[in-house]
């Protein structure tokens, strides 16, 4: 049996998890910093690093206790070494290195985006085949759409370790657009869940916001949409008109979802692949999940959406990817250096 402790501090969540044999989640602890950053409407990197330093040991300790294991039981420690905020990454990596050094445990390094892809193999109930309700996991090859606050990218995944980027955002990530639009509407942070909620009472066809399909590539662009929302709000203020904020939120969300679903559909056609993994923080959005599933049903494509707690940043996904690295003998030394920019 292999027990991996995953650690991810790439952004504003301090996370640690214990995963058995790459799939069974024994614990998954997330300490979020929403309270620290919300008054700024976005993440302040310096504050994020300081908070990680305070939280890393309590979070790791809680992950071990919840899994009912001791450090000595671990087969390895998997640390996320990028991409992300460099000060934040340094906290998790340094902590992981210290643990491995003091206990003589192997260390593996995991790319945050690879972690997001591996979220589709996780199960809280148990490994595939041993459970009453085995989790549905994709076979290779599959497409992976990662939509979060820091990333919006589409990969073709041919095997463990074999990833080909088909497209990425040229400017804002989808989650970043949610956060910025929420801020400009005065709704709060993080924007995604707030906009999703109020959009339920809005008309998605009320305002025809732009959709950047960029038909010549699989890249994405969401900054024009954000500017269009800003201009709309300014204009209606100048003209003393008042569109319901629910309609603005619903129309904005419809634009994002139309683009994500349509581009995934094109990639399915071009690559001839019938399996799609939808993950990352924005993949927690129920309307996006519903629309992607609807498209999948029409095209007879299987859509895999990990549970919301595995879509948003977590360390269980890092431990899962770490398990496969460890099995392949792909360990790293204590000179591991995280990097802010790290393509998969
Ligand atoms: O994956 P994640 O936890 O962290 C990053 O790697 O960025 O994603 C966080 C992002 C935030 O921008 C947040 O607003 C967005 O995911 N998000 C959502 C929802 N829940 C979180 N966006 C839309 N709908 C949601 N329900
Ligand atoms: Zn992420």
> What is the tens place of the pLDDT at every residue in 57-111?
999 999 999 999 999 999 999 999 999 999 999 999 999 999 999 999 999 999 9
Whether 142-305 and 3-123+310-327 are alike in CATH topology: the answer is yes
pLDDT in tens, 164-193: 999 999 999 999 999 999 999 999 988 999
**Range from 121-125, 142-146, 234-238 that averages highest in pLDDT:** 142-146
Q: How confident is the model at residue 135 (pLDDT cuts 50, 70, 90)?
A: low
196 CA closest ligand 1 atom index: 24
The CATH code that applies to domain 3-123+310-327 is 3.30.420.40
Lowest mean pLDDT among 103-117, 228-242, 254-268: 228-242
192-217: pLDDT as tens digits: 999 999 999 999 999 999 999 998 89
Local structure of 148: helix, strand or coil? coil
For the sheet containing 142-147, what is the strand order? 162-168, 152-159, 142-147, 275-279, 302-304
Q: How many residues does the chain have?
A: 344
pLDDT-derived band of residue 295, with 50, 70 and 90 as boundaries?
very high
Domain layout of the chain by residue ranges: 3-123+310-327, 142-305
For residue 238, what pLDDT is reported? 78
Determine the average pLDDT of the residues in 270-281.
96
Q: Does 27 score more than 80 pLDDT? A: yes
Q: State the ligand closest to the CA atom of 30.
A: 1
Q: Average pLDDT, stretch 2-22?
A: 97
From 75, 54, 62, select the one nearest 16 (Cα to Cα).
62
pLDDT value at position 127? 45
Question: Ligand 1 pocket: which of 282, 290, 316, 342 to mutate (most atoms <8 Å of CB)?
Answer: 282
Average pLDDT, the chain: 94
User: For the chain, what percent of residues have pLDDT higher than 70?
Assistant: 97
Q: Which of 174, 281, 292, when mutated, tests ligand 1's pocket best, judged by the most ligand atoms within 8 Å of its CB?
A: 281
DSSP of 93-116, one letter per residue? HHHHHHHHHHHT--EEEEEHHHHH
What CATH number matches the domain at 142-305, 2.60.40.10, 3.30.420.40, 1.20.120.550, 3.30.950.10? 3.30.420.40
Are the beta carbons of 23 and 122 closer than 8 angstroms?
A: yes
Q: How far is Cα 331 from Cα 323, in angstroms, rounded to an integer?
A: 10
Give the pLDDT confidence score for residue 129 in this predicted structure.
Answer: 42
Residue 133's pLDDT band, with cuts at 50, 70 and 90, is: very low
Share of the chain above pLDDT 90, in %: 87
What pLDDT shows up at residue 303?
A: 95
pLDDT for position 34: 85
pLDDT of 276 > 90? The answer is yes
Establish whether residue 11 lines the binding site of ligand 1, counting it when its CB lies within 6 angstroms of any ligand atom: yes
Distance set, CA 254 to CA 68, 174, 238, 251 (Å): 44, 12, 25, 5
Task: Give the ranges where the chain is alpha helix by DSSP (H).
Answer: 34-37, 45-67, 86-103, 112-118, 174-184, 191-199, 223-238, 245-271, 286-299, 308-311, 316-327
């Amino acid at each position: 049996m292999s027990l991996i402790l995953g650690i991810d501090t790439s952004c504003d969540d301090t996370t640690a998890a214990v995963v058995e044999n790459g799939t069974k989640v024994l614990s998954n602890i997330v300490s979020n910093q929403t309270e620290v950053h919300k008054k700024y409407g976005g993440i302040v990197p310096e504050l994020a690093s300081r908070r990680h330093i305070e939280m890393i040991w309590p979070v790791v300790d809680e992950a071990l206790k919840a899994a009912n294991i001791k450090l000595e039981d671990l087969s390895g420690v998997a640390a996320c070494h990028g991409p992300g905020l460099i000060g934040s990454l340094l906290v998790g990596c340094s902590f992981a290195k210290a643990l491995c050094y003091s206990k003589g445990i192997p260390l593996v390094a995991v790319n945050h985006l690879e972690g997001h892809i591996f979220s589709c193999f996780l199960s809280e109930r148990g490994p595939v085949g041993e459970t009453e309700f085995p989790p549905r996991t994709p076979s290779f090859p599959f497409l992976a759409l990662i939509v979060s606050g820091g990333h919006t990218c589409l990969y073709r995944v041919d095997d463990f370790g074999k990833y080909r980027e088909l497209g990425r955002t040229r400017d804002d990530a989808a989650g970043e657009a949610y956060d910025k639009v929420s801020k400009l509407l005065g709704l709060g942070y993080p924007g995604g869940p707030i906009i999703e909620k109020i959009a339920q009472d809005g008309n998605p066809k009320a305002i025809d916001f732009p959709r950047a399909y960029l038909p010549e590539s699989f890249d994405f662009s969401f900054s024009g949409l954000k500017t269009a929302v800003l201009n709309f709000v300014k204009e209606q203020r100048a003209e003393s008109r008042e569109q319901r904020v629910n309609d603005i939120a619903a129309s904005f969300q419809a634009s994002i979802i139309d683009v994500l679903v349509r581009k995934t559909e094109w990639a399915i056609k071009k690559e001839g692949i019938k399996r799609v993994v939808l993950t990352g923080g924005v993949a927690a959005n129920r309307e996006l999940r519903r629309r992607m599933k609807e498209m999948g049903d029409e095209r007879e494509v299987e859509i895999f959406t990990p549970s919301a707690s595995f879509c948003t940043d977590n360390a269980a996904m890092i431990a899962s990817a770490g398990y496969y690295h460890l099995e392949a003998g792909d360990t790293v030394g204590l000179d591991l250096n995280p990097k802010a920019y790290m393509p998969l």
